[in-house]
Amino acid sequence: MKFVIWPSELDRRLSRKYGRTVPKNIAVDKPKFSEIEDAILILGMKILEKDTHKLNPRLSGLEEELRTYGFMKIESPYGKSKSLKMIAEKIRELRSRSKSTKAKRKRR
């Protein structure tokens, strides 16, 4: 299946009205474009197209600090909603891994 993913669909700070599609308990704070890209590749999905400058039309009325730019067109064997949940969970996993690595470095 091919579909477009916007960072706002994974952003915990946004309401569903502004484009968040994953449940708040799975969503991520300020998802970075690079984090989403890494998660997609780790999960074995294929990025067909990406643009870091596009703004999701739903976000045009929001303050600048809540806007997340960019979109990716991906190909995934799962549906969009399952793929988004998997990506959000992978980002959380990667973030927790990097936090524990930083904590270990500080202890040395």
CATH number at residue 103: 3.30.56.30
pLDDT at 75 (0 to 100):
97
pTM attached to this predicted model: 0.89
Low-confidence ranges of the chain (pLDDT < 50): none
Q: How far apart are CA 76 and CA 2, in angstroms?
A: 6
Q: What is the pLDDT of residues 64-89, one digit of tens each?
A: 888 889 999 999 999 999 999 999 99
Q: Which of 8, 4, 5, 6 is nearest to 65 (CA)?
A: 8
pLDDT at 100 (0 to 100):
75
Compute how many other C-beta atoms are within 10 angstroms of the C-beta atom of residue 98: 11
Q: Count the domains in the chain.
A: 1
Instruction: Write down the H helix ranges in 1-79.
Output: 33-42
User: For tokens 């991520």, what's the residue?
Assistant: 28
Domain span at residue 102 reads 2-107
Contact 85, 24 (CB under 8 A): no
